[in-house]
C-alpha cells in the first residue's frame, strides 16, 4: 500500500492532484488507515494512471468520473466506453495537428531570425523599421 506522497512522486502528480482525483471519485475502492489517510493499492494506482492520461488528453474530470463509473459497471458498458475513448482520440488527434502547425510556425520564425542575424535578409520584424505605406509580411 502506498501513501499520497508516494503515489504523487511515483506518478509525477502533486499531492493536491492525487487528493483531488480521489475526492472526485476517480479512484474507486480506496482504503484508509486508522488516521483516515488514503492508502493506494496497485489497482488504485492504475485508476490514477488512467485518470492522469485521460486528463492529459483533454478529458474533463466529470467525464473521467463517468468513464470510471462505466468501468465499474462491467462488460455491459464496453461499447459506451469505446465510444468515449474514440471521441477523445479524435480530439487528441485534432490537438496534435494544431500543435504541429504551431511548431511549424515557430520553426519558420526561428529560421527567419537566423537569416536576419546572418544578414541574409534585413530585419523586418521590428515595427519601428516598418514603412508607413507598406504593410509588413508577418513571419
**How far is 139 from 72, CA to CA, in rounded Å?**
51
The domain 1-59 is classified under which CATH number: 3.40.50.10190, 1.10.600.10, 1.10.1660.10, 1.10.10.10?
1.10.1660.10
**How far is 55 from 53, CA to CA, in rounded Å?**
5
pLDDT of residue 131: 73
pLDDT of residue 123: 87
**How far is 52 from 22, CA to CA, in rounded Å?**
12
Q: Is the pLDDT of residue 138 over 70?
A: no
pLDDT of residue 35: 93
pLDDT of residue 139: 61
3-class DSSP assignment, residue 126? coil
**How far is 33 from 31, CA to CA, in rounded Å?**
7
- Tell me the residue length of the chain: 139
Q: What is the mean pLDDT of residues 78-95?
A: 94
Whole-model pTM: value is 0.71
E strands, the chain, in order: 31-32, 38-39
Least confident of 35-44, 68-77, 123-132: 123-132
Q: Is the pLDDT of residue 130 over 60?
A: yes
**If pLDDT is split at 50, 70 and 90, which confidence band does 78 have?**
very high
Tens-digit pLDDT profile for residues 29-60? 999 999 999 999 999 999 999 999 999 888 99
C-alpha grid cell for residue 129?
A: 523599421
pLDDT of residue 136: 59
**How far is 68 from 83, CA to CA, in rounded Å?**
14
| Phi-psi label, residue 36: left if phi above 0, alpha if psi -120 to 50, beta otherwise | left
Amino acid at each position: 500500500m502506498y501513501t499520497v506522497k508516494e503515489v504523487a512522486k511515483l506518478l509525477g502528480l502533486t499531492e493536491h492532484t492525487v487528493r483531488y482525483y480521489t475526492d472526485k471519485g476517480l479512484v474507486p475502492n480506496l482504503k484508509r488507515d486508522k488516521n483516515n489517510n488514503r492508502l493506494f493499492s496497485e489497482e488504485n494506482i492504475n485508476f490514477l494512471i488512467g485518470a492522469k492520461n485521460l486528463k492529459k488528453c483533454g478529458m474533463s474530470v466529470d467525464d473521467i468520473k463517468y468513464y470510471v463509473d462505466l468501468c465499474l459497471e462491467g462488460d455491459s458498458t464496453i461499447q459506451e466506453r469505446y465510444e468515449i475513448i474514440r471521441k477523445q482520440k479524435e480530439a487528441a488527434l485534432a490537438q496534435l495537428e494544431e500543435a504541429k502547425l504551431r511548431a511549424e510556425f515557430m520553426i519558420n520564425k526561428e529560421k527567419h531570425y537566423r537569416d536576419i542575424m546572418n544578414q541574409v535578409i534585413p530585419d523586418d520584424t521590428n515595427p519601428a523599421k516598418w514603412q508607413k505605406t507598406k504593410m509588413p509580411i508577418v513571419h
